[in-house]
Structure 1
Amino acid sequence: MEDTGRRLLKFKGYYFKRVGLDVDFLENLDDFEIRDDDDVFIITYPKSGTIWSQQLLSLIYFEEHGKRTENLETVDRVPFLEYNFQNIDFSARPSPHLFSTHLPHYLVPRGLKNKKAKVIYIYRNPKDVMCLYFHFSHKWAENEATTTIEEFMELFLEGKVTGSLWFDHIKSWYEHRSHFHIHFMMDEDMKKDLRNSVLKVCKFLGKELNEEVLDAVVRQATFQNMKYDPLANYENILNSQPGQKKKKALFLCKGTIGDWKNHMTVEQNERFEKIFQIKTKDFPLEFIWDINEE
């Protein structure tokens, strides 16, 4: 374990943020109980569609979430495994066990590798990830302060941020996919055709929704609706933390594909692209870089 500053902690080669992290829990995570077919894990690198995926699972699994008959935050329905912000007793939760995590494949509970529990890996083009991450870091003081996107890009490309190196995260999960019952999805596909994405997720999960319920899930899971939903967008949780109330900032940003073009210079993009091509050589997953791409 390595102390890397006020906000980051390096554990077994991976950078965690300190807020909400229980190191003792982390030390024993390998033995965390997995409830086989009932468990579903959303795996993401930070800023890759995690909150959207949490909302989607909540709508698919909990009718009361869509109908608002139960006032429960999405993060409570699909909590983070490694960051237990709400101090939930995971062992007392009824099935289905739904979780979110940014963990690399080698740190997840070993029971997840028996292929019974389901894993959904959501990924996004790394230029948008990096730009969103930069703005998020400034808004919510996520990492050690960086004043420019150029400075943050260097940290991102060196993997010295929460989540470590994006390239390692996605490549290692894909290369070890045979160890898990896993489904890969692009965040951009969800934005371009949400209904089809919901159908694919339901098929993978073995969940059948009638047309009325499907329409309701798709309607409530649109980014625009979710962005202003206080149960889904983390506003209540983050604005209740010390020092955050005064900001009253929206946790979710534009959610636009290709927004990196509005933030990166030509030189920055060329440097990023060169490294991307080297790091992802022969990597089969495709990426969408612009909203107009087919």
Structure 2
Amino acid sequence: MENITDYLCKYKDYVFAIGVTTAEYIDSLQNFEIRDSDVFVVTYPKSGTVWTQQIVTLICESDFEDSGLYPNNLERMPWLEYREGRPDYSLRASPRLFASHLTPVLMPPGLRDRRAKVIYVMRNPKDNVVSYYHFCLAWAALETPKSFDEFLQHFLSGQVGAASWFDHVRAWYSRREQYNILFLTYEDMIMDLHTAVRKICHFLERDLDEAAINRIVEKATFKNMKTDPKANYEFLPEDMLNREKSTFLRKGTIGDWKNTFTVAQSEMFDCVYQERMGDLPLKFIWEMNGQPL
């Protein structure tokens, strides 16, 4: 891995925080044995990962009767690329749930060949970059930005953890025919959580009744997740996350970018977006009463 800043390193065109994983472990994922029952939630950072993690673990709750073994969502759905001293993932009982920010080229090749399921969640990149900025203010493993404008430039050039948002979304979308994949947007989940939960249930082939779906929707609301110790990541130590500066779950809204972007920054971002993504049939909701770009 090549260090590109004091906090970030690059490997195979992907950017990691220094010290969180190794090139050897990432390479070992090329031999990671995929099971047909595996479920992966894949996102670019700050796109709704923890939220989708909550929904999927609730849908699959009956598979985790031993709450002592998996006391929170991080243990129920660990990160594929950050094993962090946990036992070998091959020892986990099926169905295994994983979260990941990796791009297709770094994922286990078997994910294309088996019936394992991938849920990919995208978020409009203006809200994404604002959320990521606030996260970097608090997360110890990442450099504290000097200003939003500085962080915006790093985001646009891909000099942030997980590299380029544009490349990440394009890589997964352009390879969608190779995977058993469900695409969702953060904004659709906010505007109609009930429908999103039903879509995920259908994709995971979980036949839950309406009462069970309603319970999941209630537990997956932003308000309830903020106070759920299994879901809100407040169990992380203070030396990893400075809660005075930000929290894992901050606002959960659409259009917060308007409180941070200047007009010039917004216009410049729109130009970059059209240049990088304009050929894809993706539509994002940029504000609650706005229209897709």
Superposed displacement of residue 162, structure 1: 0.4
**Aligned residue number for residue 250 of structure 1:** 247
Identical amino acids, percent of aligned pairs: 44
- Aligned 8 A contact 2:158 2:165 in 1: yes
For 2:20, give the aligned amino acid.
Answer: G
Deviation string, structure 1 residues 126-165 (Cα, Å, up to 9, x no partner): 0000001111101123432321100000000000000101
Provide the rounded CA distance (Å) in 2 between the counterparts of 1:215 and 1:243. Answer: 34
1:176 aligns with 2:171: no
- CA distance in 1 between counterparts of 2:243 and 2:82 reads 24
Instruction: For residue 10 of structure 1, give the secondary structure of its aligned residue in structure 2.
Output: strand
CA positional deviation for 1:87: 2.1
- Give distance in 1, aligned partners of 2:102 and 2:70: 28
Deviations 1:198-253 (A, max 9, x none): 0011111111101221111111011111122121011112xx25365784853210
Query: 2:112 maps to what in 1?
Result: 113
CA contact (8 A) 1:59 1:65 kept: no
Aligned length: 291
Amino acid at match of 1:151: E
The whole-number CA distance in structure 1 between the counterparts of 2:47 and 2:7 is 21
The equivalent of 2:221 in structure 1 is 222
Aligned to 1:136: 135
The 2-side partners of 1:128 and 1:74 are apart by 24
CA contact (8 A) 1:136 1:142 kept: no
Question: How does the TM-score come out when normalised to structure 1?
Answer: 0.93
- For 2:6, the aligned partner's letter is R
Deviations, residues 175-211 of structure 1 (Å, cap 9, x unaligned): 1111111110001111110010000111111111012
SS at match of 2:235: helix
Output the CA distance in 2 between the equivalents of 1:131 and 1:88: 35
CA contact (8 A) 1:65 1:72 kept: no
Contact kept? 1:130, 1:156, Cα under 8 Å: yes
* 8 Å CA contact 1:80, 1:100 repeated in 2: yes
Cα distance in 2 for residues equivalent to 1:86 and 1:288: 39
Q: 1:9-59, CA deviations, whole angstroms, 9 ceiling, x for partnerless residues? A: 2111110113432432112111101011x1011110000000001111110
Once the two structures are superposed, the pairs formed by residues 48-197 of structure 1 within 5 Å of their partners are 48-63=47-62, 72-85=71-84, 87-197=86-196
Equivalent in the alignment of 2:29: 29
What is the CA RMSD across the aligned residues, in angstroms? 2.2
Question: Are 2:141 and 2:240, in contact at CA under 8 Å, matched by a contact in 1?
Answer: no
| Partners of 1:251 and 1:243 in 2: CA distance | 11
Which whole-Å CA distance do the structure 2 matches of 1:106 and 1:179 have between them? Answer: 12
The one-letter code matched in structure 2 to 1:179 is: Q
Letter in 2 for 1:234: Y
Contact 1:115/1:179 (8 A) holds in 2 = no
1:213–1:180 CA distance, 2 compared to 1 (3 A): same
1:280 corresponds to 2:270: no
Distance 1:249 1:63, change over 3 A: farther
Residue 169 of structure 1: how far off its partner (Å) = 0.5
SS of 1:242's equivalent? Answer: coil
| Larger mean Cα displacement after TM superposition, 3-12 or 84-93 | 84-93
Deviation of residue 70 (structure 1)?
8.0
Q: Quickly say closer, same or farther: Cα 1:86–1:260, change in 2 above 3 A.
A: farther
Secondary structure of the residue aligned to 1:253 is coil
Local SS of the residue matching 1:72: coil
Query: Partner of 2:259 in structure 1?
Result: 262
